[in-house]
């Protein structure tokens, strides 16, 4: 049927947003309403005429409400083909139901309540709702299926304008209905999988919904959109955006990298990111000091960068931020007097993040699949470090090495990081040769190498990288160790009067 004129509607909703106005409009259009349980009670309180479902089925709700709509007079009224099954429907006194308006028990919200028992959670698995929705969506040729309260207005508009519901609309709503039932079942499936306490499950349901359409992708000739996991409302896509232009594809990637890096630290910290790599990171006694140190670590690269702060942004920091061209600022909060200052830069994107560190796994999509691994949450402490050279690092150098190792986890390998007094001074990122990474870091640091330490994300396979450090002022090196030429590398450090420690751990980032 290209157009149907509904005569009867079944409404059973957990989310009652917009219900009363919608039901009133249906009644004004001469459409009868059938309802269940709590929905019926809400309609009754609003004095909206309707029939209870048990009046249709001539059978009461049973088993504490577990069974109420699972009945041939309801299922048949929805599923029957109007051009074929009318005689059979008349024989069994089944009246057609032309519009099904249903949403489900909020299972996702329920499983967030840690105080609930498994039995209580199971009672919130909707059975009747998905059954009604699947039946109506399957029979969209004759039935409209509404699962989203935002569609109520479109239903009423179409009924008033066309005296019916078009086939195009019914197909669109059916598609949305099957998306909902698929998502709902996947959520329940994932809940039970998670209860197995396995890190890597035999199957994973990734339910993604479009968050925003992007102007373009990495380059203007590429179309792009951002999708968010239905089950996970954390991360950049859930940030509160106070102002600024729309986020781009590259902005989102860089902002995510910046927030992950700065979240490593408990002390006041700032991370400045360009092209998904840190260009300046620092911790200090105050957040403003950390920002100033991070910015001046590589002010040239900081131009057009992403700044992440792990403390609320103050007026003082805001005044420093607007003095430079930046793309994005991210912080867990903003002082009221900081936002007006940031607003003087109309295009600057200002994001407020919820500091959530519950993420345990990370994924990367490859062609035809997904790679999944535990998040690199390793922390190297003083007791983990093994001094392997004649010269021992000072306490200050040890502190800077531990700082550098936390930052190094966020630099693309091969990665080399130079740091001094808990601030980066030179970074060589994403090089195909470790020697090239050392050369790049030294070049970036310039005269700042004196008294700095060097951190390497993997072992040195030869002494050539260490020989590059001669007469640069580099005082100490932190690296995993484990090369068959470790003794050669240690000897190079001893030759040049450089201290070296091994972590016994690698921190590659691809």
Mapping DSSP to helix (H, G, I), strand (E, B) and coil, where does residue 420 land? coil
**DSSP assignment string, 27-89:** HHTT-EEEE-HHHHHHHHHTT---EEHHHHHTS--BTTTTBSS-SHHHHHHHH--TTTSHHHH
| Domain that residue 186 falls in | 3-194
Q: What is the CATH number of the domain that holds 283?
A: 3.40.140.20
Contacts of 459 (CB under 8 A, 6+ apart): 479, 480, 481, 482, 483, 486, 489, 506
pLDDT at 43: 95
**In a shared domain, residues 155 and 294:** no
Does residue 232 lie within any of the structural domains?
no
Burial class (CB within 10 angstroms; exposed 0-12, middle 13-18, buried 19+) of 10 = buried
Does residue 133 lie within any of the structural domains?
yes
- Give me the catalytic one of 16, 71, 85, 138: 138
pLDDT exceeds 80 at position 152: yes
Does residue 361 lie within any of the structural domains?
no
278, 271 Cβ separation under 8 angstroms: yes
Does residue 367 lie within any of the structural domains?
no
**In a shared domain, residues 50 and 181:** yes
**In a shared domain, residues 264 and 402:** no
Mean pLDDT taken over the chain: 92
Q: What is the CATH number of the domain that holds 82?
A: 3.40.50.1380
**In a shared domain, residues 271 and 394:** no
Distances (CA, A) of 452 to 10, 388, 415, 476: 72, 18, 16, 7
pLDDT at 447: 93
State if pTM tops 0.75: yes
Angle at 484 between CA 482 and CA 485, to 5 degrees: 100
- Give me the catalytic one of 275, 296, 335, 509: 275
pLDDT exceeds 90 at position 144: yes
pLDDT at 316: 97
Helix/strand/coil percent split, the chain, to 5: 40, 20, 40
Annotated active-site residue 335? The verdict is no
Out of 141-145, 149-153, 233-237, 355-359, least confident range:
355-359
**In a shared domain, residues 246 and 295:** yes
Closest CA to 337 of 320, 315, 353: 315
Angle at 31 between CA 134 and CA 91, to 5 degrees: 65
Tens of pLDDT, residue by residue over 260-289, are 999 999 999 999 999 999 999 999 999 999
**In a shared domain, residues 343 and 390:** no
**In a shared domain, residues 189 and 249:** no
Number of domains in the chain: 3
Please identify, among 159, 194, 229, the residue that sits at the C-terminal boundary of a domain: 194
Tens of pLDDT, residue by residue over 407-466, are 999 999 999 999 999 999 999 999 999 999 999 999 999 999 999 999 999 999 999 999
**In a shared domain, residues 425 and 317:** no
Angle at 387 between CA 385 and CA 392, to 5 degrees: 120
pLDDT exceeds 90 at position 229: no
**446: number of Cβ within 10 Å:** 9
Tens of pLDDT, residue by residue over 23-68, are 999 999 999 999 988 899 999 999 999 999 888 888 888 888 788 8
Does residue 296 lie within any of the structural domains?
yes
Annotated active-site residue 275? The verdict is yes
pLDDT exceeds 90 at position 233: no
Closest CA to 411 of 397, 393, 429, 394: 429
**In a shared domain, residues 33 and 182:** yes
Does residue 364 lie within any of the structural domains?
no
Does residue 362 lie within any of the structural domains?
no
Tens of pLDDT, residue by residue over 334-377, are 999 999 999 999 999 999 998 765 677 888 999 999 999 988 98
Please identify, among 136, 161, 194, the residue that sits at the C-terminal boundary of a domain: 194
Closest CA to 221 of 240, 200, 247, 249: 249
Q: Where are the alpha helices (DSSP H) in 92-151?
A: 107-111, 118-122, 128-138
**In a shared domain, residues 407 and 470:** yes
**In a shared domain, residues 337 and 397:** no
**In a shared domain, residues 83 and 189:** yes
Closest CA to 145 of 167, 162, 122: 167
- Spatial distance between the Cα atoms of 184 and 204, rounded to a whole number of angstroms: 14
Please identify, among 194, 213, 228, the residue that sits at the C-terminal boundary of a domain: 194
pLDDT at 405: 97
Report the b/e string of 84-105 with b at 16+ CB within 10 A: ebeeebeeeebbbbbbbbbbbb
Does residue 443 lie within any of the structural domains?
yes
């Amino acid at each position: 049927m290209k157009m149907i004129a509904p005569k009867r509607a079944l409404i059973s909703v957990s989310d009652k947003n917009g219900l009363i106005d919608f039901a009133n409009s249906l009644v004004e259009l001469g459409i009868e309403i059938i309802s269940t349980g709590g929905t019926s009670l809400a309609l009754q309180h609003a004095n909206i005429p309707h029939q209870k479902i048990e009046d249709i089925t001539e059978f009461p709700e049973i088993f504490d409400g577990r069974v109420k709509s699972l009945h041939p007079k309801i299922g048949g009224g929805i599923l029957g083909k109007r051009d074929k099954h009318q005689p059979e429907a008349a024989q069994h006194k089944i009246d057609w139901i032309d519009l099904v308006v249903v949403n489900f028990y909020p299972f996702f919200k329920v499983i967030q309540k840690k105080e609930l028992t498994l039995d209580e959670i199971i009672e919130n698995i909707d059975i009747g709702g998905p059954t009604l929705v699947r039946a109506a969506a399957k029979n969209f040729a004759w039935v409209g299926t509404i699962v989203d309260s935002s569609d109520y207005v479109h239903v009423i508009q179409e009924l008033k304008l066309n005296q019916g519901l078009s086939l195009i609309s019914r197909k669109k709503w059916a598609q949305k209905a099957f998306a909902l039932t698929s998502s709902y079942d996947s959520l329940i499936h994932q809940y039970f999988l998670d209860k197995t306490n396995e890190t890597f499950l035999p199957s994973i349901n990734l339910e993604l919904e479009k968050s925003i359409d992007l102007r373009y992708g990495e380059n203007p000739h590429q179309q792009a959109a951002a999708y968010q996991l239905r089950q996970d409302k954390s991360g950049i896509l859930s940030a509160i955006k106070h102002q600024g232009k729309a986020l781009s594809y590259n902005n989102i990637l860089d902002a995510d990298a910046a927030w992950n890096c700065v979240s490593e630290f408990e002390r006041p910290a700032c991370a400045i990111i360009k092209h998904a790599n840190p260009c300046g990171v620092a911790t200090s006694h105050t957040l403003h000091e950390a920002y100033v140190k991070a910015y001046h670590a590589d002010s040239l690269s900081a131009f057009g960068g992403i700044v992440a702060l792990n403390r609320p942004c103050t007026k003082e920091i805001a005044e420093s931020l607007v003095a430079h061209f930046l793309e994005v600022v991210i912080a867990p909060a903003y002082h009221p007097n900081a936002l007006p200052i940031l607003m003087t830069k109309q295009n600057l994107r200002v994001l407020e993040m919820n500091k959530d560190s519950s993420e345990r796994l990370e994924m990367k999509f490859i062609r035809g699949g997904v790679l999944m691994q535990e998040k690199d949450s390793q922390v190297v402490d003083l007791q983990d470090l093994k001094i392997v050279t004649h010269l021992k690092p000072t306490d200050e150098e040890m502190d800077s090495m531990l700082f550098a190792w936390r930052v190094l986890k966020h630099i693309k390998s091969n990665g080399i990081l130079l740091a001094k007094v808990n601030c980066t001074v030179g970074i060589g990122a994403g090089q195909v040769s470790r020697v090239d990474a050392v050369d790049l870091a030294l070049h970036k640091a310039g005269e700042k190498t004196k008294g700095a330490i060097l951190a390497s994300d993997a072992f040195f396979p030869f002494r050539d990288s260490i020989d590059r450090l001669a007469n640069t002022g580099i005082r100490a090196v932190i690296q995993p160790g484990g090369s068959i030429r470790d003794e050669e590398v240690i000897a190079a450090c001893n030759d040049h009067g450089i201290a070296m420690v091994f972590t016994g751990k690698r921190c590659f980032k691809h």
